[in-house]
Amino acid sequence: MTVAHAFRSPVGAHVLLVDGSRIFDVDEATFAACARGDLPEALRDDGRPPFVTDEPLRPDSLRALSLTIAQGCNMSCGYCYADEGRFGAHARLMPAEVARRAAETFLARVPPGRDAVLGFMGGEPFLNAPVLRATTRHAARIARDRGVRLRFSVTTNATLLQEDDVALLGAHPFSVAVSLDGDRATNDRQRRLRGGRNAYDRILAGIDRLARATPRPRHLSLRATVTPRSGRLRDMLDAMLALKADAAGFAPVLVSPDPAQAFEAGDFQRFLAEMIDCGEQAKAVLLAGGRSRFSNFETALLEIHRGSHRPYPCGAAAGYASVGAEGDLYACHRAIGDPRFAIGSIDRGPDQAARERFLAERHVLRQAPCRDCWARFLCGGGCHQEVLARGRVGCDYVRGWLDFCLAAYAELSVRIPDFFADAEGHSATHSPEGAS
């Protein structure tokens, strides 16, 4: 049966056909019919093969690998899913040999001529800066020899950057995500250096060095982690956009060793209202011919424009894996050490059966509330790690935010079509988000 979600925007009435994420402008009568589940024949997919079936993905070679090179952090953020980078265990650094072999075995499997991404995560990756530098140079050489188009990413708190780190991030095609919790007040309340000192000025100094570097990183984004105790999002966003970064965005905490810092179902209402507030501001900037740089919003617009429809929330176990300090492979950097996410090791290679099992279990059409949700192929079922740890507490928020973004897309695609025409053919640069 064809499932539709009817929504309105300032430019009219629209219908999202859930399968294939196809959006149509419709008249009022069609809108009303769709809203009550009575699709006109012209919109029904009767007898057609669906875009997404319940058949799990059979994964090919990995295209993105992250190395958790430092399971430890110089900061002590109470909300950190990685438990200050230790993932519930002792702090430890990935040995150079493990990182080197991980990069080699990963790149050996990427077909020549294809794109690949090598990411560095933590903890704080620059606690293990020598390994980060050596691995980057080594991987870049292998990629060049093999004809693989390799890009890099790193998520860092930017407090430990040395001159040669900044030079490295500019010399190689790096996407750098800096964690910064918005304005000074919020950031210092939530994130302090070990020993309790304020970190804000040190983070800003790090960002400034990255932004001023020549060459500078190809993409520099800021990511604020939001807890129920965070300040007003709009203030946080404005504070971040005042810095010289290409983009800034938010991630709510769902899983935290300190439950008081994680979102409960009741917290999402305010969060949604504030996200929409930020989205409205970003929309106004786009309408005035500028770039909003609000990454949650712009990414959503471009994904909706493409008609993104995925039975998974992310590339975990499919094209993406993460390596723990000992060389074990996990489906996600957020789940290092979690046996449910174990998918082989760098020595034995990715465990195909484990990847397929993971993908079979995690398919969105196998998730009880998801398979009937209109947002299932935009959302993909929610972050695996959060869902397995917390269940799905933010679904109303996800739907509310998507509803806002769908309407904004419909409006902007009418009023500033060039924004989307420019984006066609360019995929947004995504860096895996992570601890730090």
Partner 1 sequence: MSDNLTSRKIHPRNLTARADRWVRGNPVTTRPESGVDNCYPGLEFDQRNLEKRFLPGLEFEFHLGGVPPLLRAVDDGRAGRALPFRPTDFGGNPADALFLWAVFGTFGAAAGPVGRVERFGGQASGLWAWRALHDLEPGPVAVLLAHMTEEGGIDLEPATNLTAEAALLDGNDVAGRDEEERLTFAVIAGTRCDYLVDGVINPAIYAAGDLTRSLCAPWQYDFTDCGCFYWASNKPDLVAVDEGAPQIYNFQRMRRGEGEERPVAEVLADRAGLLTIRGWDDRDPDSSNRILNHRELINDWQRLSPVFEATEARAFTPHAPTELPPGRILSRAEVLKRLRYLATVEHSLMVEYLYAYYSVAAPRIAPDAAGAARRNYDVARSVLSVAIDEMRHFRWVNEMLRELGQPLELGRVEEFQDLDGDGRFIPHSFGLKALSAARLDWFIEVEKPSARVDPALGQDTIDGLYTRLMLSIRQSGEFTDDERARLTHLVKLIIDEGLDHFTRFSSVKATLAGAPGDWLRPGFADAPLPLPDGHPAKAAEIVADRAYGTVLTTLGFVFSASNRRTGDLLQAARFAMYALDDAAHEAIAQGGAPLFTTPAPGAVVAAAGARGAAATPAAMLEQAIVAPMQAALADLRARGGAATVASMQRHYDRLVAEMAPLLQ
Neighbouring C-beta atoms of residue 242, cutoff 10 Å: 10
In 242-400, where do the E strands start and end? 247-252, 320-323, 328-330, 342-345, 349-350
Residue 51 exposed, middle or buried by CB count within 10 Å (0-12, 13-18, 19+): middle
3 touches partner 1 (CB under 8 A):
no
Query: Among all chains, which residue has been given the structure tokens 């999002």?
Result: 233
Q: Please calculate the CA angle 202-206-211 and round it to the nearest 5 degrees.
A: 145
Interface with partner 1 (CB under 8 A), residue from 1, 42, 113, 339: 42
Interface with partner 1 (CB under 8 A), residue from 95, 257, 307, 344: 307
Q: Binding segment for partner 1 among 13-21, 85-93, 310-318, 367-375 (CB under 8 A)? A: 13-21
Interface with partner 1 (CB under 8 A), residue from 163, 289, 339, 368: 289
Amino acid symbol at 141: R
Least separation in angstroms between residue 298's CB and partner 1 is 14
339 three-state secondary structure: helix
Q: Binding segment for partner 1 among 36-44, 70-78, 128-136, 224-232 (CB under 8 A)? A: 36-44
C-alpha to C-alpha distance for 262 and 267, rounded to whole angstroms: 9
Least separation in angstroms between residue 146's CB and partner 1 is 16
Interface with partner 1 (CB under 8 A), residue from 21, 66, 227, 256: 21
Residues 193 and 203: beta-carbon distance below 8 Å:
no
Task: Give me the DSSP letters along 233-245.
Answer: HHHHHHHHHTSS-
Q: Is 10 left (phi over 0), alpha (psi -120 to 50) or beta?
A: alpha
365 touches partner 1 (CB under 8 A):
no
Least separation in angstroms between residue 16's CB and partner 1 is 9
Least separation in angstroms between residue 238's CB and partner 1 is 15
Of the pair 14, 362, the CB lying nearest partner 1 is at: 14
Neighbouring C-beta atoms of residue 398, cutoff 10 Å: 17
290 touches partner 1 (CB under 8 A):
yes
- Region 203-222 residues binding partner 1, contact defined as CB under 8 A: 211, 214-219
C-alpha to C-alpha distance for 324 and 345, rounded to whole angstroms: 9
409 touches partner 1 (CB under 8 A):
yes
**How many residues line the site for partner 1 (CB under 8 A)?**
52
Strand partners, 194: none
309 touches partner 1 (CB under 8 A):
yes
Interface residues toward partner 1, by CB under 8 A: 11, 14, 17, 20-30, 40, 42-43, 45, 48, 51, 170-173, 211, 214-219, 244, 246, 287-291, 304-307, 309, 409-410, 413-417, 424, 426
